[in-house]
Chain A
Amino acid sequence: MANITHFWARFRQGQQKAGAFENAVRPHIRPLYRLAVHYCGNHHEAEELLQELLYRLYSRQQEVLAVEKLRPWLARVLYNLFVDRFRREQLRPASFSEMGWEDEGAAENDLASLQTEELPERDFEQRLTREHLESCLQRLPPPQRLLLVMHDVEEYTLQELEIILETPLGTLKSRLHRARERLRGILLEEEK
């Protein structure tokens, strides 16, 4: 009888743990989904990515419950999952985080950086709709797109991004600026 009681207590404990895990993760699902849409570029793949993430988290329940800052931690796991998928699909051995930063240090020579005069500012701002910006965002190299989305759209702080992307603060700042400049360049190209 003692064994049965013990077994039952363990079963109940497991159920309670699962409940605590779901309560901890639930508030982050929507922001993670938004991130996933930006990562993947469509809702279907985003949902698949998120589903995979949640499935993996279920086997790491204790770890999840022990994490102090869950928001950047979850974003990091999602990011890594996306990068893994991206690499698999692209079959590219190169480091994902290095991609799209090849022009680092050369941003000041970016053609777009000095293209301003040709268009009246009102045109630029009027044409800057959400949909237009969204489609231009998709033309950015993935690392630049993800960084912009995480910081400017989803408002992850630079300190959080340091954890998520494992990149020093200074590098993040300059990369963010370059990503904005590049996006501007793409927008100006579209205007022409």
Chain B
Amino acid sequence: MLECRHFRAHWSRFRFKELEEAEGLRMRRHLESCRRCQKYSQQMQAIVDCLKGMGKAGQNELESVRVERLLENACQRHRIAARGRQAMAATLLAGFIGGALFWAALDEVKHEPAYPIISHTQTISLPIAGVKNISLAIDSDRVLQEVTFTIELPEGVELDGYPGQRQLSWQGPLHAGLNRLTLPLLTNHQAHEGVLKARIEYAGGGRELVLPLRPSEGSAGLRATQEILSEDNIQAGTWRYLS
């Protein structure tokens, strides 16, 4: 005979016919013989029926209007959120583009020297495999101490006595008036057309002169161009190509 405890532990499975036939039969027999379990079974059945009835009672029902309103509200919220995301994406994109432009501009600024560059329009011819002195003049209206002089040379051109060096830099004073700088340029067979850059940098400014150079076979050298310096146009550290 089944115990009441066992019967109650398996009541749901018995009620919903989930037990094997033999076990179901044993449960049925116990139920028929036990008044306490009959009462238990009736109470459990009443609970199950009442729970089922709750679902059919029609309470907690939502009116059609409210169903539509719920859908509408959710749709609207979704659209607002989507617009917000789009706006955010647009802002981020704009920010990114702005940032990129800013950095590009900053990069330009960083690479742009803080002093004027004077480009000599006339190309200077240099003899191949020979030395040629060129004279540059630096005008200054006052004495400048601790000026950094830099010379950058194109490929195949070097200063005589400084083999393999395409950039030379040194410090020294700049006198008031005309300062002459003579550069003994030595070219070899690898020399190509290029530019010579002569630069001075001092506290508060600087100047750069760009001279186009072209090696030429059998050139007679550079034609001297005597610059006439007038007192009016002399500024601090103005470069000139003399000869």
Contact = CB atoms under 8 A, between A and B. Distances in A.
Interface stretch (B44-52, B146-154, B210-218): B44-52
A130 B54 contact: yes
B11 interface: yes
Nearest to A116: B39
Closest 7 CB pairs of A and B: A54-B74, A58-B78, A152-B51, A177-B12, A153-B55, A55-B74, A116-B39
Contacts of B74: 51, 54-55, 57-58
B47 A25 contact: no
Contacts of B36: 114, 116-117
Interface in A109-131: 113-114, 116-117, 121, 124-125, 128, 130
8 contacts: A55-B77, A113-B5, A114-B4, A130-B59, A152-B55, A177-B12, A180-B48, A184-B44
Interface of B: 4-5, 8-9, 11-13, 18, 36, 39-40, 42-44, 46-48, 50-55, 57, 59-62, 66-67, 70-71, 73-75, 77-78, 81-82
B73 A30 contact: no
A153 B70 CA distance: 24
A102 B36 CA distance: 27
Contacts, number: 118
Given A121-B39, A153-B52, 9 more contacts: A22-B75, A25-B71, A58-B77, A107-B9, A114-B8, A130-B53, A173-B13, A181-B8, A187-B47
Interface in A24-67: 25-26, 29-30, 33-34, 37-38, 43, 46-47, 50-51, 54-55, 57-59
Contacts of A55: 73-74, 77-78, 81
Contacts of A50: 70
A181 B51 CA distance: 13
Contacts of B60: 33-34, 37-38, 43, 46
Nearest to B13: A173
A173 B18 contact: yes
Main secondary structure of the interface of B (DSSP, over half): helix
B47 A177 contact: no
B151 to A, nearest CB: 57
Contacts of B81: 55, 59
Nearest to B11: A177
A116 B50 contact: no
A130 B82 CA distance: 44
